[in-house]
Structure 1
């Protein structure tokens, strides 16, 4: 059976000190997850187990090729997962605080989480 999209949720995350794209991407995924309650999957669609979901994660971020996909996908508690990273997001100058990280570059990632389910 083909998967059908149920919802697309968006989030953003930043690494303020260190320009770590994985850290920013993980924060973006957490932000997207924190905005949704997928009760319609149970009440309307009729799934019985949250592991029946499939979540496609797409991250737009500077240095996208440096993102550790496994770490980002680990932020999603249920369902099967897939990952895609593309160049995007934002890089801007902040302030260097050596105790918090190297450099003054703020790196921002944007996440799109598409939740799909099989429909009988």
Structure 2
């Protein structure tokens, strides 16, 4: 499980990539070659991204898939996450409003 946000720029892909990284950054399964027939190359990843509905259309899944170094990704998008006010919009940082976009991520490993 993980979460990520983009506090400026309202880039949902940046938030989703951060969520995916957060979901796996403290995990290691060194025994994949023993428990998954075919090892890392045969591993299947079921990824669920909870994304605010207003931002789902701008999500670039190919960028999220790059987070995972092994296996085949199956990504499902569901309504969720959060849009919260950052309290400031800074044009030079790409803001088009004061939305802070939050995405949650769940990753399951199997074969």
TM range (shorter): 0.7 to 0.9
Structure 2 equivalent of residue 98 of structure 1: 91
- Distance of 1:86 and 1:18 partners within structure 2: 22
1:83 aligns with 2:75: yes
Q: Identify the structure with the greater helix proportion.
A: 2
Per-residue deviation, residues 61-117 of structure 1 (Å, max 9, x unmatched)? 112232111111111110011111111100010022222221211000000111113
Unaligned runs of 5+ in 1: 1-9
Normalised by the size of structure 1, how large is the TM-score? 0.80
Per-residue deviation, residues 31-62 of structure 1 (Å, max 9, x unmatched)? 111020112434x6265632221101110011
| Distance verdict in 2 for CA 1:34–1:65, change over 3 Å | same
Structure 2 equivalent of residue 30 of structure 1: 21
Normalised by the size of structure 2, how large is the TM-score? 0.85
- Distance of 2:57 and 2:36 partners within structure 1: 38
**Alignment length, in residue pairs?**
107
SS of residue matched to 1:38? coil
Verify the 8 A CA contact 1:65 1:85 in the aligned structure 2: no
Q: Identify the structure with the greater strand proportion.
A: 1
